[in-house]
Amino acid sequence: MRELTQAEIAELLRAQVVGRIGCHAAGITYVVPIIYALDGDCIYAVSVEGQKIRMMRDSPNVCFEVDEYDGRGSWRSVIIQGRYEELDGAEVARALSLLTERFAARRGDRPRDRSLETDGRPTVAFRIRIREATGRAVDRS
């Protein structure tokens, strides 16, 4: 096993689509997958308001995890310690733009306008400001 460099950590975060947020509040730990975009020292995401958002509002120190497994025994993973920050105004538009551009490029589409409304339920744009990022890998090639 080896430690990933900061460049390898950034590459894995850019390469993956799904990460997992770990949050803890009121004695309960909750881990849930999200799609995300990386920009600078922040992870951006949008979510329907629910348990995850309520927990992060109550206790904004969170963990974020991304991993990759090649099917032959090699793997890489990144663990981020960070702080949840809810977005508003121009920051929401920026987060939506980052997410739509990232996923449109992956599909080969043009970015489409996205609303912060999902089936009538409130939706929240947020970022995780990265305080620490560490990574490990096992190479069995």
SS3 71: coil
pLDDT digits (tens, 9 = 90+) for 94-113: 999 999 988 775 555 544 44
Flag the least confident range among 8-12, 80-84, 108-112: 108-112
pLDDT (average), residues 50-77: 97
Tokens at 94, concatenated: 């920026």
pTM of the full structure? 0.87
CATH number, domain of 73, equals: 2.30.110.10
Decide: 20 and 31 in contact? Cβ < 8 Å.
Answer: yes
10 bridge partner residues: none
For residues 42 and 135, what is the distance between their CA atoms, to the nearest angstrom? Answer: 16
The residue segments making up the domain with residue 116 are 2-138
Structurally, how many domains does the chain consist of?
1
Q: How far is CA 95 from CA 7, 43, 45, in A?
A: 23, 9, 7
Flag whether pLDDT at 3 surpasses 50.
yes
